[in-house]
Homo-oligomer: A and B are copies of this chain.
Amino acid sequence: MDSKVNRLAILGSTGSIGQQTLQVVRAFPERFPVIALAAGDNLALLSQQINEFHPQYIHYHKQATQTSFKAEFLSLEEMAVLPEVDTVVVSTSGKASLTAVLAAVQAGKRIAIANKEPLVMAGEIITRQSKKHKAKIIPVDSEHSAIWQCLQGENNKPANIILTASGGPFRAFTPAQMAAVTPAQALQHPSWKMGKKVTIDSATLMNKGLEIIEAHWLFGVPFENIKIVVHPQSIIHSMVEFADGSVKAQLSSPDMRLPIQYALTYPQRWANPDLPKIDWSNLQQLVFAPPDFQKFPCLQLAIDAGKAGGTMPAVLCAADEIAVNAFLNGRIKFMDIVSVVGAALDKHRKVSDPELAEILAADAWTRDFSNKMIGKMK
């Protein structure tokens, strides 16, 4: 990549991270030419983005729709390997980009990844292929970006990773209150503005569990050395502890545009007046607490699935996706999410060292199992 210009394909441009990526692009339009944009089904917003950023290639889920765009239609997988693209921004949700991420990896691309599921589902394959094809996977998630930043210039592997967790909106809830949580309550995150799926996952702490698995693959750290500290203010985004006991932390106001921009400018940092700064004269305290595994059982489910490996993390992802959707649609209660995920993990017959096809088969089995279970719960 030319250090002055980084040509982008943005998979998931109409989602929360996609829109914030385009806000960063707006601050540096000549340095971030937008080559390709892909969206799900928000054609209205995609149309606006096409008119503003003039991508050569576009994708949207409902391809049959008639449009008058001059851009060429491509699949996500085709976009991910375009020779005129330097960096593929993966800001889709769920497993939509799994095969596109693998394609980008095999094409040796730089991949700015905000979407957890590809690495959680197929971390071993993606990691192995990245090494082989010299692809560079740069995390966009604020926690993983923090760890990535703290690891720069260090010759040693981290002794421990300390993932900070906001704790979500229900940190202080009683079990009775948790049982009665509504989608509207769960969608009110105290510090971060995010998409719906991630916001619910933050309320169950499943999101933190997925992040542990993601961190394991991104940084090659054993699960035993990935610790969680609840930090409701979301100022410290994560920390790394080294062999000598020294710890580095990365801090900033909770604004996803910063880790997005860093993933695009890495290893440089560019001044951007749009990004908020910490007000040192006003900072009074940073608070921490241990996580409550009893109240948030999804966290342990995720750690266990990560440690079990094989197809188990894919089952975790698929069951969670189905259960969160069912909760958002009012079909199950908040605490049923963990029941569905737990049952899927219990019933699944793990395949060790799986091929992509086996991961996709586990995904399909889990979706079917979870939907049937939810059907019986009504």
A residues at B contact (CB < 8 Å): 149-156, 159, 162, 227, 229, 236, 239, 241-253, 258, 261-262, 265, 267-272, 275-278, 280-281, 283-290
Contact = CB atoms under 8 A, between A and B. Distances in A.
Contact of A248 (B248, B253, B280): B248
B229 A244 contact: no
A149 to B, nearest CB: 6
Contact of A245 (B248, B253, B289): B253
B269 A154 contact: yes
Contacts of A287: 284-285
A262 B285 contact: no
Given A236-B249, A245-B278, A247-B250, 8 more contacts: A156-B269, A244-B265, A244-B272, A246-B251, A246-B252, A247-B251, A280-B290, A285-B286
Contacts of A283: 229, 288
12 contacts: A151-B153, A156-B269, A159-B271, A241-B277, A244-B261, A244-B265, A244-B269, A245-B258, A246-B269, A280-B288, A284-B287, A284-B289
Contact of A153 (B227, B236, B249, B267): B267
Given A152-B152, A162-B280, A227-B280, A270 B250 contact: no
B156 A248 contact: no
A98 to B, nearest CB: 30
Nearest to A289: B284
Given A286-B286, A288-B284, A246 B149 contact: yes
A245 B252 contact: yes
Contacts of A271: 159, 243-244
A315 to B, nearest CB: 30
A153 to B, nearest CB: 2
A82 to B, nearest CB: 27
Given A152-B152, A154-B152, A269-B156, A244 B275 contact: yes
The 8 residue pairs across chains A and B that have the minimum distance between CB atoms: A153-B153, A152-B153, A243-B271, A247-B251, A244-B269, A245-B275, A286-B286, A249-B249
A155 B285 CA distance: 30
A246 B267 contact: no
Central interface residue in A156, A243, A244, A253, by most chain B CB within 10 Å: A244
B285 A248 contact: no
Nearest to A250: B248
A26 to B, nearest CB: 15
